[in-house]
Amino acid sequence: MRISITDRCNLRCRYCMPDGVKCVPMSQILTLEEYARIATCGALLGIRKIKVTGGEPLVRLGCCDLVRMLKETRGIEKVTITTNGILLEQYLGQLAAAGIDGINISLDTLDPGLYQALTGGGSLLAVLKGLEQALQLFQGKPIPVKINAVSLELKAVAEGLGCGYDGPGWPELLKLARDYPVDVRFIEMMPIGYGKQYRSLSHKEVLAKLQEQYPGLEKDGRSHGNGPAIYYRIPGFKGSIGFISAIHGKFCGGCNRIRLTSQGYLKSCLCYEDGKDLRAVLREGGTKEETDRKLLEAMKQAIWAKPMAHCFEHPEQMTENKDMMKIGG
């Protein structure tokens, strides 16, 4: 289960929320206790892993407390976080103390100028510091740090943003897997919100170029978690290269994800708006037992209604109109 704990963010990625978000009153956002209660019910239904996301999860006060609460939930085995990394240095110690099991850092370019333009003012240096400190802190521990990059044609993006960029494009990110024990995963851009305005790189083409450049490239059969990424290894590299091809590699048959929005709406697919309003159940009153029973029932219904597959290739059939930071990416 992916839990978005805020819609707000300290960045303005052009493909996500270039103009920020329309703020909703905090009373409409779930409290930390409400997320934890949903997690407890989820655990009773067999949910074992939780990803904390957003918006930017680290801008929500109490994010690390929530990680701890989730870790203390009976039945929940792993709690990980997806962050833009800007505040990672500041919160790393608290996340580690709370028992975090993995950190995904979103990073689309290693060019400071392009990073700043693409994220609406972000500091690449801050992200890289956070990454290095996380690797140091978790060295020798089974706490993976991964890089997620949306598959963008960086030169075209830079041109569109009017910023001078003379880098090699996506291959620049390979440096991270070469120099650090981190997996670098390329994620296809999904036609959600502002993402519709960006063309995703073809993973088939990226892979063909990788094979050409690194003849020793081989499929990496080791387990990297339970996600849908397909991994490759390059001889001499410390980390692996992963591809999450949600559109062209349609892995819906093996998808067991459900997503909770910051306002407590439980969704079973990114593509459709169907789901259950758990906030309404939590707040309608009644005894704890009654509410927990209703929560379990609503969660079961949302899960059983999970569609066979997404329909991103037929955007006219999509019913989800929320932006990515609302759904939680």
Contacts of ligand SF4 in 98-137 (CB under 6 A): 106
Q: Is there binding between residue 56 and ligand SF4 (CB under 6 A)?
A: yes
Closer of 6 and 40 to ligand SF4 (Cβ): 6
Minimum CB separation from ligand SAM for residue 54, in Å?
A: 5
Alpha helix positions (H), the chain:
32-44, 63-71, 88-98, 112-119, 124-137, 154-161, 174-179, 203-213, 278-283, 288-304, 324-327
Closer of 11 and 295 to ligand SF4 (Cβ): 11
Tokens 């088939």 belong to residue: 204
Q: Which does 82 bind (CB under 5 to 8 A by kind): ligand SF4, ligand SAM, none?
A: ligand SAM
Stretch that binds ligand SF4, among 10-18, 27-35, 197-205, 260-268 (CB under 6 A): 10-18
Q: Which does 187 bind (CB under 5 to 8 A by kind): ligand SF4, ligand SAM, none?
A: ligand SAM
DSSP 184-205: EEEEPPPSSGGGGGSPBPPHHH
**Separation between Cα atoms, residue 188 and residue 200, nearest integer Å:** 6
**Separation between Cα atoms, residue 258 and residue 75, nearest integer Å:** 17
Residues that bind ligand SAM (CB under 6 A): 9, 15-16, 53-56, 82-84, 106, 148, 150, 187, 189-190, 192, 195, 324-325, 329
**Separation between Cα atoms, residue 192 and residue 61, nearest integer Å:** 27
Q: Which does 17 bind (CB under 5 to 8 A by kind): ligand SF4, ligand SAM, none?
A: ligand SF4
Contacts of ligand SF4 in 69-88 (CB under 6 A): 84
The answer to whether the CB of 263 falls within 8 A of the CB of 29 is: yes
Q: Which of 1, 3, 13, 50 binds ligand SF4 (CB under 6 A)?
A: 13
DSSP 271-319: T---EEEHHHHHHS---HHHHHHHHHHHHHHHHHT--SS--TTSGGG--
Residue with the shortest CB distance to ligand SAM: 195
Q: Which residues bind ligand SF4 (CB under 6 A)?
A: 9, 11-13, 16-17, 54-56, 84, 106, 325
